[in-house]
Chain A
Amino acid sequence: MAQSATSPTASSEVRHLTVRIMRFNPEIDDRPHWEQYPIDAEPWDRVLDVIQKVKWYHDDTLGLRRSCAHGVCGSDAMRINGRNQLACKVLVKSLGSDTITVEPILGLPVIKDLIVDMKPFFDHYKSVMPFLVNDDPAPTTERLQSQEERAIFDETTKCILCACCTTACPPFWGDRKYVGPAAIVNAHRFIFDSRDRAASDRLEILNDAEGIWRCRTVFNCTEVCPRDIKVTKAISQVKRALLTGEVPKASVVAESS
């Protein structure tokens, strides 16, 4: 089948974009600097497509991470026009002007161009016991869970660990030891799971000086989450659990046999 260059519903014009990218090559540069590229794009192109055009047709030294290109793998988090986004989820047509600025996300060390060191981010994630703990003997079939119990933590199961939230968080910029919103989201996912038995351990971890109380309820995390997780709300539910000592996950139902 021939491929149409336009969106299916209407033909579209080509836009002449100026793409400004913050470049930094540690083997050459002392400090980051802006480079500018003229790129033609269509309204329905993704910003990721635009950046890859730079890489493929202008300068293959440009460093970026990407994989799935439709917002589920979390590789291509970057600051696009000053806001943390996944480059594959922003369309050219949504951009206000014909100039796009692209920078690495903030708060993590830049390795090269748009690539940051994700290790500190994943270390924070791993620190909150992001796995189900339940040493009760497992039944021969599934553990039962009501639809209501399942719904309580649905929102936080959606996290793709892209780091948009944590690197948009002013307290994290100020103190990189702060565990950050993404880690709290992943703690929430287990704290409120009726099958889990380690909520108090996770709450204790988050009660630390570098834990959840660093959150100043700025709401940046919620605004930038590409999965539309209400991050601030999840954080406040964890805070409430810490303050009240109660974890509302409905009563644990009898295990199936």
Chain B
Amino acid sequence: MSTLTTEPVREREVVVTGVDARPARVRSNNPDDFAVPHGREEEWRFTPLRRLHGLHDSAPASGHWNITHSAPAGASVDVFSDTNDINSRFVASDRASARAFAGRERTIVVTINAEAELAEPIRVRVDSKGVAFGHVVVRSGAHSRAMVIVDYAGTAQAAVNVETVVGDGAELTYVEVHDQESAAVHLGELRTFVGRDAHFRGASIMIGGDVVRLLPTVEYDGPGGSAELLGVLLAGPGQHHEARTFIDHSTPHCTSDVAYKAVLHGAGAHTVWVGDVYVRHTATDIDTYELNRNLLLDDGPRADSVPNLELETGQVRRAGHASVTGKLDADQLFYLQSRGITEVEARHLVVRGFFADIVGRIGDDPLAERVAQAVEQALAETPTT
């Protein structure tokens, strides 16, 4: 039986449901198969195209790259500066992605050996400038356990796609941290293939940049796979952070759990979450849930939240979504302050607490500390009452 659950909706909420979760989209690695978007297309309607510096149009690649990495025993990272054969499964779904794939200047290949259980995360730092096109491949061997953290810095207008293949029975956490300079633009299509009985946890952390727009997609290579897509978005004045998640359930006994949270402050801060879930008729006995929560620290920002769920079968364990957008809870602040805690500290506790479950699920202490610092800075920029 299918059950649809939706939590109560609060102020400044934009929810559109019932839209086809998967319109027939063009898929191709040839940029010319896609028209130049003008902004009214469904998939571009929230994106400030004028701030993309032509990434979606025809700006030529001119990237300067500084890539550093470390990997513990059982894994390796290789960086290529040609468009050599990488045995790719990537197929782009928009013009910017196709341009990035066709014109990739760097390809970062992360390999995790079968049955390896990594003691440390694999860390990759990408610092780039100019118009930069890149590609990341992550392949985790069967029954391996690993975490990969890719950390973006610099001022580039970058388009970097990611393809992740999670081996059968493997556990993989893939984290992208976007903490670029304030002028930076980043577009990325992140396609993940989850093996039989494998577990994938994908996390997008958006702190910096002018525009960050990610398209995380999950497909299942076999039955029994599970996937989490997690998001931590902190948008300040003028920043645009957008995530369009897509879960494509085609195999039985799989689960998906999407949880994106955003904190916004200041004039022009804008976050977008569009969560598409498509359950094909072959995807019986699946469990899917989507959650989006947005916390507005003042009257300046705007949060758009659009869950779309399309079911071709009723033979599912659960299929639901919840979306809540609101301001800091006055009752929570009063409660904390009535215990002697200052308003400033009460706000810190509540906002850090807002992200705590997601950050805890990602499970990397240095990352948790970075998010905490970003929260601190955001609050310092937000006047108290």
Q: Do A and B bind each other?
A: no
